[in-house]
């Protein structure tokens, strides 16, 4: 999983769920909605919040959301 750049602050269950869905990099999450993430067992509000912050730091956002610039 050396290619995974999901922040460590995202808990292990959420990281496993994301990897299981084929999402191991933040840039892949730009095509994913919050609803998609919430549908994954192990991904909750805290993980989604951490992912949003990490995406914003790169000028990115979840699908359907606007990135802060």
Asked whether 21 and 52 are in contact (CB, 8 A), the reply is no
pTM comes to: 0.90
Asked whether 52 and 61 are in contact (CB, 8 A), the reply is yes
Cα separations in angstroms, 23 against 7, 29, 56, 63, 69 = 13, 7, 17, 14, 24
| Residue 64 CB neighbour total at 10 angstroms | 10
Question: CATH for 1-69, among 1.10.10, 2.20.25, 1.10.150, 3.10.20?
Answer: 1.10.150
pLDDT at 1: 41
pLDDT above 70 (res 41): yes
How many Å apart are CA 51 and CA 7, to the nearest integer?
7
pLDDT above 70 (res 14): yes
């Amino acid at each position: 999983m050396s290619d995974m750049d999901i922040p460590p602050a995202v808990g292990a269950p959420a990281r496993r769920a994301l990897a299981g869905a084929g999402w191991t990099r933040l840039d892949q999450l730009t095509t994913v909605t919050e609803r998609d993430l919430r549908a994954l067992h192990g991904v909750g509000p805290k993980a989604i919040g951490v992912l949003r912050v990490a995406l914003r730091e790169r000028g990115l956002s979840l699908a359907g959301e606007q990135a802060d610039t």
